[in-house]
């Protein structure tokens, strides 16, 4: 009687380096079989524990630029240290058509590009509980050298100014709570009025007639 859109949503998640967005996204896909992560392509070198095809597709600058020319990215940007990062188009369409929500964990430049292209995408900004906490998380995770930590921390101040471009903000105080909040956002988005495709009320007379004929 009521038909709702069965397609999945594209969910764009951004936030400053060290805010915990990577951990949140991994937890979301672990818990929900109807949420998948878009695996980005990058020209950055893999870190020790990273696996090609799981964390990123690690490709050369030449390959990346070839793909730009072939229009294979939904968005792309130079994020850290002159490295390209981009969201491949193909998987997003494949998943959303099947009713699966796809998370693109990308930077603000990329998010703004998607905002121009796909109005119905959901934009979520992850905030650290404080800048002091962000600083200590960046130091503790021990994945960048001092110079890179300073670069990322400085950039965080600019990035936070863009929060108003997003639909939702989630403060990552505790991972568990942040994950629950995003699950709630995704569930609410599925109930939006604009996801109704059809309300069939054509059998009104028949229904009322049936009701009148029914024994008490
Ligand atoms: P990493 O710490 O992996 O070197 O850098 C991650 C940064 O690049 C994060 O800010 C992340 O959101 C961003 N990023 C990862 N993949 C993409 C992508 O496909 N496009 C854009 N624009 N940014 C990305």
pLDDT in tens, 17-46: 999 999 999 999 999 999 999 999 999 999
In the block, tokens 């070839």 appear at 66
Nearest to 41 by CA among 21, 23, 62: 62
Chain-centroid distance, C-alpha 86: 13
**How would DSSP label each residue in 50-65?**
--BTTTBEE--HHHHH
Rounded-to-10 torsion of CA 44, 45, 51, 55? -20
The whole-number pLDDT of residue 143 equals: 78
Chain-centroid distance, C-alpha 9: 9
CB-ligand 1 contact for 9 (6 Å cutoff) = no
- Two structure tokens written together for 74: 């939904």
Maximum Cα–Cα distance across the chain = 80
Nearest to 83 by CA among 52, 51, 41, 26: 41
Partners of 35 in beta bridges: 101
- Two structure tokens written together for 120: 């119905």
Partners of 104 in beta bridges: 12
The whole-number pLDDT of residue 96 equals: 96
- Two structure tokens written together for 186: 């995704």
Q: How far is the CA of 212 from the centre of ligand 1 (A)?
A: 62
> Inter-axis angle of helices 21-31 and 175-190, to 10 degrees?
60
CB-ligand 1 contact for 15 (6 Å cutoff) = no
How much is the mean pLDDT over the chain?
94
- Kindly state the helix (H) or strand (E) to which residue 85 belongs, with its residue range: strand 84-88
What is the average pLDDT across 53-61? 96
Other Cβ atoms within 10 Å of 92 Cβ, number? 21
Q: How far is the CA of 203 from the centre of ligand 1 (A)?
A: 52
Atom 11 in ligand 1: residue holding the nearest Cα: 106
Query: What is the CATH number assigned to the segment(s) 2-194?
Result: 3.40.50.300
Q: How far is the CA of 31 from the centre of ligand 1 (A)?
A: 23
The whole-number pLDDT of residue 119 equals: 87
Q: Indicate the DSSP class of residue 198.
A: E
The whole-number pLDDT of residue 215 equals: 80
What is the average pLDDT across 100-105? 97
CB-ligand 1 contact for 86 (6 Å cutoff) = yes
Report whether pLDDT(80) > 90.
no
- Kindly state the helix (H) or strand (E) to which residue 21 belongs, with its residue range: helix 21-31
Q: How far is the CA of 136 from the centre of ligand 1 (A)?
A: 20
The predicted-structure confidence for 128-183, as pLDDT tens digits, reads as follows 999 999 999 999 988 788 998 999 999 999 999 999 999 999 999 999 999 999 99
Report whether pLDDT(81) > 80.
no
CB 84 within 8 A of CB 76: yes
Atom 15 in ligand 1: residue holding the nearest Cα: 106
**Number of the ligand 1 atom closest to the C-alpha atom of 83:** 4
Q: How far is the CA of 211 from the centre of ligand 1 (A)?
A: 59
- Two structure tokens written together for 144: 């960048």
CB-ligand 1 contact for 109 (6 Å cutoff) = yes
The whole-number pLDDT of residue 179 equals: 98
Q: How far is the CA of 106 from the centre of ligand 1 (A)?
A: 5
pTM, two decimal places: 0.92
Report whether pLDDT(188) > 90.
yes
The whole-number pLDDT of residue 1 equals: 80
- Two structure tokens written together for 119: 């109005």
The whole-number pLDDT of residue 21 equals: 95
CB-ligand 1 contact for 143 (6 Å cutoff) = no
């Amino acid at each position: 009687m009521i038909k709702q859109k069965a397609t999945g949503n594209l969910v764009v998640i951004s936030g400053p380096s060290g805010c915990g967005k990577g951990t949140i996204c991994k937890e979301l896909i672990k818990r929900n079989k109807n949420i998948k992560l878009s695996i980005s392509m990058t020209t950055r070198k893999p870190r020790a524990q990273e696996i090609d095809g799981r964390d990123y597709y690690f490709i050369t600058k030449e390959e990346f630029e070839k793909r730009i020319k072939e229009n294979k990215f939904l968005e792309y940007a130079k994020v850290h240290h002159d490295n390209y990062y981009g969201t491949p188009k193909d998987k997003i369409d494949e998943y959303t058509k099947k009713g699966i929500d796809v998370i693109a964990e990308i930077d603000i430049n990329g998010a703004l590009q998607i905002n121009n292209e796909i109005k119905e995408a959901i934009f979520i900004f992850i905030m650290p509980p404080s800048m002091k906490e962000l600083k200590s998380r960046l130091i503790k995770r021990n994945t960048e050298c001092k110079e890179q930590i300073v670069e990322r921390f400085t950039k965080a101040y600019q990035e936070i100014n863009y929060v108003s471009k997003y639909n939702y903000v989630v403060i990552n105080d505790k991972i568990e709570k942040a994950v629950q909040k995003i699950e709630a956002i995704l569930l609410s988005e599925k109930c939006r009025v604009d996801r109704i495709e059809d309300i069939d009320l054509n059998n009104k007379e028949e229904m009322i007639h049936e009701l009148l004929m029914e024994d008490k």
